[in-house]
A and B are shown apart, each in its own frame.
Chain A
Amino acid sequence: MTKTKTDATRQAVTLSPLVQILVFLGSMRFGIALLIALSLLSAYATFFPLAFARERIYGSWWFLGAMGLGALNLSLCTGKSIGPRFRQAYKPSWPTTLAQLRQMPVSCTIKVSSGDVAAKKLTTAFKQLGLATNRRDTGPGTAVFLRGERGRLGYFGSIATHIGILLVLVGGMYGSLTGFDLGGSARKGGSIDLPAQELAIRVEDIRVTYNDPAGVVRPRVASQLRISQRGQEVATGAVAINEPLRFDGITVYHSTFLWVAHVTLSHPETGAVLHELALVDHETVNLPGMPLAIGSAGFFPDFTVQDGRPLSRTYKTNRPALVYRVVQEGRPLPLRVLEPDMPLEVTTPEGPMVITLIGYEKAVSYSVSRNLGRPYLFAGAMIMLTGLFLSFFMAPQRIFAGVEANGEIVVGGRGFVRHHGIEHILANIKSRVEGEES
Chain B
Amino acid sequence: MPVFIEVPATALLVERSLFILATVLFVLAALSYFMNLAGKREWGPFASLLLHGALFVQTAFLVTRGINVNRVPFVGHFEFGNLFIWASTLLYLWMERRLRPVFYAVGAFLTPVVLVYLAYAHSGIVSAEHRELPIVLRFPLWLNIHVSTSVFAYAGFSLAFALGLIWLLRLWLTGASKFVPKGNVWQTIKRELPSGSVLEENIYTSIAFGFFFQTAMIISGAIWADISWGRFWGWDPKEMWSLITWFVYAVYLHARLTRQWQGPKVILVVVIGWLAMMFTWIGVAWLLPGIHSFG
Of the listed stretches B43-51, B87-95, B134-142, B168-176, chain A binds B134-142
| In the complex, residue of chain A having the shortest beta-carbon distance to the beta carbon of B234 | A50
On whether the beta carbons of A418 and B230 are closer than 8 Å, the reply is: no
Among candidates B228, B235, B251, residue contacting A242 with C-beta atoms closer than 8 Å: B228
Of the listed stretches B19-27, B71-79, B187-195, B202-210, chain A binds B202-210
Among candidates A38, A45, A391, residue contacting B247 with C-beta atoms closer than 8 Å: A38
Asked whether any CB of chain B lies closer than 8 Å to the CB of A136, the reply is: no
Asked whether any CB of chain B lies closer than 8 Å to the CB of A335, the reply is: no
Mask for A91-113, Cβ within 8 A of B = 1, else 0?
A: 00000000000000000000000
CB-contacts of A47-71 with B (<8 A): 47, 50, 53-54, 58
Asked whether any CB of chain B lies closer than 8 Å to the CB of A186, the reply is: no
| Set of chain A residues within 8 Å of B135, measured between Cβ atoms | 211, 217-218, 220, 241-242
On whether the beta carbons of B138 and A388 are closer than 8 Å, the reply is: no
> Given the complex of chains A and B, what is the CA–CA distance between A435 and B267 in angstroms?
43
On whether the beta carbons of B254 and A392 are closer than 8 Å, the reply is: no
On whether the beta carbons of A53 and B227 are closer than 8 Å, the reply is: no
CB-contacts of B28-63 with A (<8 A): none
| Set of chain A residues within 8 Å of B222, measured between Cβ atoms | 377, 381
On whether the beta carbons of A50 and B235 are closer than 8 Å, the reply is: yes
Asked whether any CB of chain A lies closer than 8 Å to the CB of B3, the reply is: yes
> Given the complex of chains A and B, what is the CA–CA distance between A29 and B216 in angstroms?
26
Among candidates B3, B132, B233, B248, residue contacting A39 with C-beta atoms closer than 8 Å: B248
Given the known inter-chain contacts A46-B240, A242-B139, please indicate yes or no for A392 contacting B212, CB distance below 8 A: yes
On whether the beta carbons of B254 and A253 are closer than 8 Å, the reply is: no
| Set of chain B residues within 8 Å of A39, measured between Cβ atoms | 244, 247-248, 251, 276
> Given the complex of chains A and B, what is the CA–CA distance between A391 and B254 in angstroms?
13
| In the complex, residue of chain B having the shortest beta-carbon distance to the beta carbon of A212 | B3
CB-contacts of A231-290 with B (<8 A): 241-242, 244, 246, 251-253
CB-contacts of B177-192 with A (<8 A): none
On whether the beta carbons of B235 and A58 are closer than 8 Å, the reply is: yes
On whether the beta carbons of B216 and A216 are closer than 8 Å, the reply is: no
A184 CB, nearest partner CB in chain B, Å: 15
> Given the complex of chains A and B, what is the CA–CA distance between A28 and B260 in angstroms?
12
Given the known inter-chain contacts A242-B227, A381-B219, please indicate yes or no for A392 contacting B211, CB distance below 8 A: yes
> DSSP majority for the B interface?
helix
Given the known inter-chain contacts A28-B258, A50-B235, A217-B135, please indicate yes or no for A393 contacting B212, CB distance below 8 A: yes
Asked whether any CB of chain A lies closer than 8 Å to the CB of B236, the reply is: yes
Asked whether any CB of chain B lies closer than 8 Å to the CB of A191, the reply is: no
> Given the complex of chains A and B, what is the CA–CA distance between A32 and B223 in angstroms?
28
Among candidates A28, A46, A172, A369, residue contacting B254 with C-beta atoms closer than 8 Å: A28
A393 CB, nearest partner CB in chain B, Å: 7
| In the complex, residue of chain B having the shortest beta-carbon distance to the beta carbon of A33 | B251
B contacts with A, residue count (CB < 8 A): 48
On whether the beta carbons of A392 and B232 are closer than 8 Å, the reply is: no
| In the complex, residue of chain B having the shortest beta-carbon distance to the beta carbon of A374 | B226
CB-contacts of A141-175 with B (<8 A): 172
Asked whether any CB of chain A lies closer than 8 Å to the CB of B257, the reply is: yes
Q: How many A-B residue pairs have CB under 8 A?
A: 112
| In the complex, residue of chain B having the shortest beta-carbon distance to the beta carbon of A39 | B247
| In the complex, residue of chain A having the shortest beta-carbon distance to the beta carbon of B284 | A46
Mask for A357-389, Cβ within 8 A of B = 1, else 0?
A: 000000000010101001001100100110011
B229 CB, nearest partner CB in chain A, Å: 6
| Set of chain B residues within 8 Å of A369, measured between Cβ atoms | 230-231
Asked whether any CB of chain B lies closer than 8 Å to the CB of A43, the reply is: yes
On whether the beta carbons of A43 and B3 are closer than 8 Å, the reply is: no
Asked whether any CB of chain A lies closer than 8 Å to the CB of B9, the reply is: no
Among candidates A42, A43, A53, A252, residue contacting B230 with C-beta atoms closer than 8 Å: A252
Given the known inter-chain contacts A32-B251, A32-B254, A389-B212, please indicate yes or no for A418 contacting B204, CB distance below 8 A: yes
Among candidates B208, B254, B290, residue contacting A35 with C-beta atoms closer than 8 Å: B254
> Given the complex of chains A and B, what is the CA–CA distance between A417 and B255 in angstroms?
12
| Set of chain A residues within 8 Å of B219, measured between Cβ atoms | 381, 384-385
Mask for B233-270, Cβ within 8 A of A = 1, else 0?
A: 11111001101100110110011011000000000000
Asked whether any CB of chain A lies closer than 8 Å to the CB of B125, the reply is: no
On whether the beta carbons of B255 and A244 are closer than 8 Å, the reply is: no
> Given the complex of chains A and B, what is the CA–CA distance between A377 and B223 in angstroms?
10
Among candidates A242, A385, A391, residue contacting B216 with C-beta atoms closer than 8 Å: A385
On whether the beta carbons of A216 and B229 are closer than 8 Å, the reply is: no
Asked whether any CB of chain A lies closer than 8 Å to the CB of B115, the reply is: no
| Set of chain A residues within 8 Å of B229, measured between Cβ atoms | 244, 253
On whether the beta carbons of A35 and B226 are closer than 8 Å, the reply is: no
| Set of chain A residues within 8 Å of B244, measured between Cβ atoms | 39, 42-43
On whether the beta carbons of A417 and B257 are closer than 8 Å, the reply is: yes
Mask for A19-47, Cβ within 8 A of B = 1, else 0?
A: 00000000011011001101100110111
> Given the complex of chains A and B, what is the CA–CA distance between A217 and B250 in angstroms?
42
On whether the beta carbons of B1 and A218 are closer than 8 Å, the reply is: yes
> Given the complex of chains A and B, what is the CA–CA distance between A198 and B227 in angstroms?
25
On whether the beta carbons of B226 and A367 are closer than 8 Å, the reply is: no
On whether the beta carbons of B231 and A371 are closer than 8 Å, the reply is: yes
Asked whether any CB of chain A lies closer than 8 Å to the CB of B144, the reply is: no
- 3 shortest interchain CB distances as A-B pairs: A251-B230, A244-B230, A253-B230
* 26 pairs of residues in contact across A and B, judged by CB atoms under 8 Å: A28-B254, A28-B258, A31-B254, A32-B255, A36-B247, A39-B248, A46-B284, A50-B235, A50-B237, A50-B290, A211-B135, A217-B1, A218-B134, A242-B135, A244-B230, A251-B230, A369-B230, A371-B231, A374-B232, A378-B223, A381-B219, A381-B222, A388-B211, A388-B215, A392-B209, A393-B212
In the complex, given contacts A242-B135, A392-B212, what are 11 additional A-B residue pairs having Cβ atoms less than 8 angstroms apart? A29-B258, A31-B254, A35-B254, A36-B247, A217-B132, A218-B135, A242-B227, A252-B230, A369-B230, A381-B219, A388-B211
